[in-house]
Chains A and B, each alone.
Chain A
Amino acid sequence: MKAWRDPVALLAVPASLYLLLLYALPLLWLLAKSFTGAEGLTLKPYIEFFSDPFNWRVVWNTLSVALWVTLVCLVVGYPAAFALARAGAALQIAMLVAIILPLSVGVVVKAFAWQIVLQRNGMVSQLLVATGVWDEPQRLLFTPPGLVLGAANIFLPFMILPIYSVVKLIDPRLLEAGATLGAAPVYRFVKIMLPLTLPGVVSGLAFVFSMAVSMYVIPSLLIGDRFQTLSTLTGRSFLFMRNEQLGSTTAVILLALAVSVVVSSSWLARRLGSRA
């Protein structure tokens, strides 16, 4: 009760009002819509949704693409965050600009750029042929790997920045202390760096996964209608099929999926972290 008497708590009022009116209420409306049939409260939309194998495919598409994007971001972003945190002042600023500046370019612009990069004669294809991975040029555009590649690039800053902010705060002497205690480099990394960076990794994972699971523009431009995700399906239901019931149902399923993955992964990470 004390917190309420603290005038500082009043500072949260504008943000709370904003979120309540413009976010929580519409979301509640959506939730209510998905559970309301002609005869009142019903689970019918959900039963219908899950009895159609096509929809299972949509859920699978959504989750697998989101997981791949998150994985690519983690593998690329984790070492990048270290390089960023340990770089000299000038280089660090240059790297930060390179990471943050692209965020100001619209997603649509970036997605169109990736369309060019992913063409049969695009850069990625040429690179893979030149390095001998592929025998001949192939089109990556409108394929799931192409989508993952493009989306991972666009979401990468959201993995690097939270990890970077944690790494920056870790005293480099902790690794030196580990070394003087007889720990080899890999052991030091696993027992010191990994657990200490885990909070940053968890927030990076949560950011990227929740954005990747709900992305709409990027799959629309990089893979098209043949590959539906929960979010493109939601869009189609509202915009083209004029089926608000289906749209709100898929939206709620998407929300439930995203929230449960993010919450459970952070819970898991915290458990692992306390044991490491």
Chain B
Amino acid sequence: MSFLEVSGAEKSFGAALVLGGVDLAVAQGEFVSLLGPSGCGKTTLLRIVAGLLAVDRGTVALDGRNITGLPPHKRDVGVVFQNYALFPHLTVAENVAFGLKAHRRSAGETKDAVKRFLDLVHLSDFADRSVRALSGGQQQRVAVARALAVRPKLLLLDEPFSALDRKLRETMQIELRRLLRELGTTSVFVTHDQDEALTMSDRIAVMNRGAIEQLDTPEAIYRRPATPFALEFVGLSTRLAGTSLGTDDGIVLVETALGRLRAPGSFVKGAPVLLAVRPERIKIGAAENTANARLRDAVFQGSKVQLHFEVRDGDQLMVETSDLPQVPAPGSEMTLGWSSADTLLYPAP
């Protein structure tokens, strides 16, 4: 049995099914992200685990105990809210002390914990400030310290970085991940930002329309997305519609607008398929799979160049490369190649 185990969680708002029987298992000390577009049910799932929302069907168990019917204040589940929800009438230290006092910890213990957690988030100098006087990044750190100070069994984070600017966000991501690892806190993190999920998570649950489409390590999700949705939502990809010409020895030959291409898999002859390749796996020059295309656009991105090619409507051919001597001019004909092992194949969506 996993540390956190959600089984068959179902939730509707009126006629709209928001979660359709979701299972999620998180091991102790693990950091799992719920990644998906808005409306996919990730925040609903988080609120159900926190006890802020009741499930229609299904159970939530934490540390071997069924907590499905428990109110939030009896669950030992901390939450960092998207807008932080700091208590505006209290100082930084009083915010952090709130949970400890609610748990009736002794004054000495409370004082020590407040000091320790303010130290951990580098806010010791701000202890007596009003939270209203803090910047967004500082407020976020107070919210984290406040949630962690009571040492919850599980920490839930609801898009805690969405209000921060990009540079600060990256620093905070690394800092928060380090802090949670040091404390060994089991965490579930809700985000719609794939970079955030890839950077921080031990595992990612890709969610779409109230269901988890894939639950795996960031690397597996990027390299082997289980569904076209996971492919599209995480990272960029070249995508070509095609038709299977039959499978031979685990390799499917696919007829596409760019010619016949090979991909591992198994599809009967005539089946419509979607063929995909990550843009950095495609090289200039012929290889196992080879295609010729006319360059439409070249985007210089510093460390790499992104090349977009002219293709049939609905298809997309994109290459990311860092070893071009100079950015090629649009309109030039280029030969592109990649290995069949790097080719992904799905039933046509």
Point out residues on A near B: beta carbons under 8 Å: 171, 173-174, 176-185, 187-188, 191-192, 195-196, 273, 276
Q: Quick one: closest B residue to A195, CB to CB?
A: B89
Q: How far is the CA of A144 from the CA of B11 in the complex (A)?
A: 55
Q: Quick one: closest B residue to A179, CB to CB?
A: B72
Residues of A within 8 A of B83 (CB): 171, 173
Q: Which of B52, B78, B89 makes the CB contact (< 8 A) with A181? A: B78
Residues of A within 8 A of B103 (CB): 182
Q: How far is the CB of A128 from chain B (nearest CB, A)?
A: 38
Interface presence of B150 (CB below 8 A): yes
Residues of A within 8 A of B52 (CB): 176, 179-180
Chain A: interface secondary structure?
A: helix
Residues of B within 8 A of A174 (CB): 85, 87-88
Q: How far is the CA of A187 from the CA of B72 in the complex (A)?
A: 13
**Those of B301-331 within 8 Å (CB) of chain A:** none
Asked, given contacts A179-B71, A180-B50, A181-B147, whether A187 binds B89 with beta carbons under 8 Å apart, the answer is no
6 A-B pairs closest in CB distance: A181-B99, A183-B102, A179-B72, A177-B85, A173-B85, A180-B79
Q: How far is the CA of A188 from the CA of B99 in the complex (A)?
A: 10
Q: How far is the CB of B72 from chain A (nearest CB, A)?
A: 4
Residues of A within 8 A of B222 (CB): none
Inter-subunit contact A180/B71 (CB<8 Å): no
Residues of B within 8 A of A179 (CB): 51-52, 71-73
Residue total for B at the interface (Cβ-Cβ under 8 A): 29
Inter-subunit contact A180/B73 (CB<8 Å): yes
Most buried by B among A171, A177, A196, A276: A177
Q: Quick one: closest B residue to A171, CB to CB?
A: B85
Residues of A within 8 A of B87 (CB): 174, 177-178, 192
Q: How far is the CA of A185 from the CA of B51 in the complex (A)?
A: 14
Inter-subunit contact B89/A177 (CB<8 Å): no
Residues of B within 8 A of A177 (CB): 79, 81, 85-87, 146
Q: Which of A176, A182, A183, A276 makes the CB contact (< 8 A) with B89? A: A276
Q: How far is the CB of B33 from chain A (nearest CB, A)?
A: 19
**Those of B77-98 within 8 Å (CB) of chain A:** 77-79, 81, 83, 85-89, 98
Inter-subunit contact A183/B98 (CB<8 Å): yes
Q: Quick one: closest A residue to B143, CB to CB?
A: A177
Q: How far is the CA of A32 from the CA of B78 in the complex (A)?
A: 64
Residues of A within 8 A of B85 (CB): 171, 173-174, 176-177
Q: How far is the CB of B204 from chain A (nearest CB, A)?
A: 24
Q: Which of B79, B98, B147 makes the CB contact (< 8 A) with A176? A: B79
Asked, given contacts A176-B79, A177-B79, A181-B146, whether A196 binds B98 with beta carbons under 8 Å apart, the answer is no
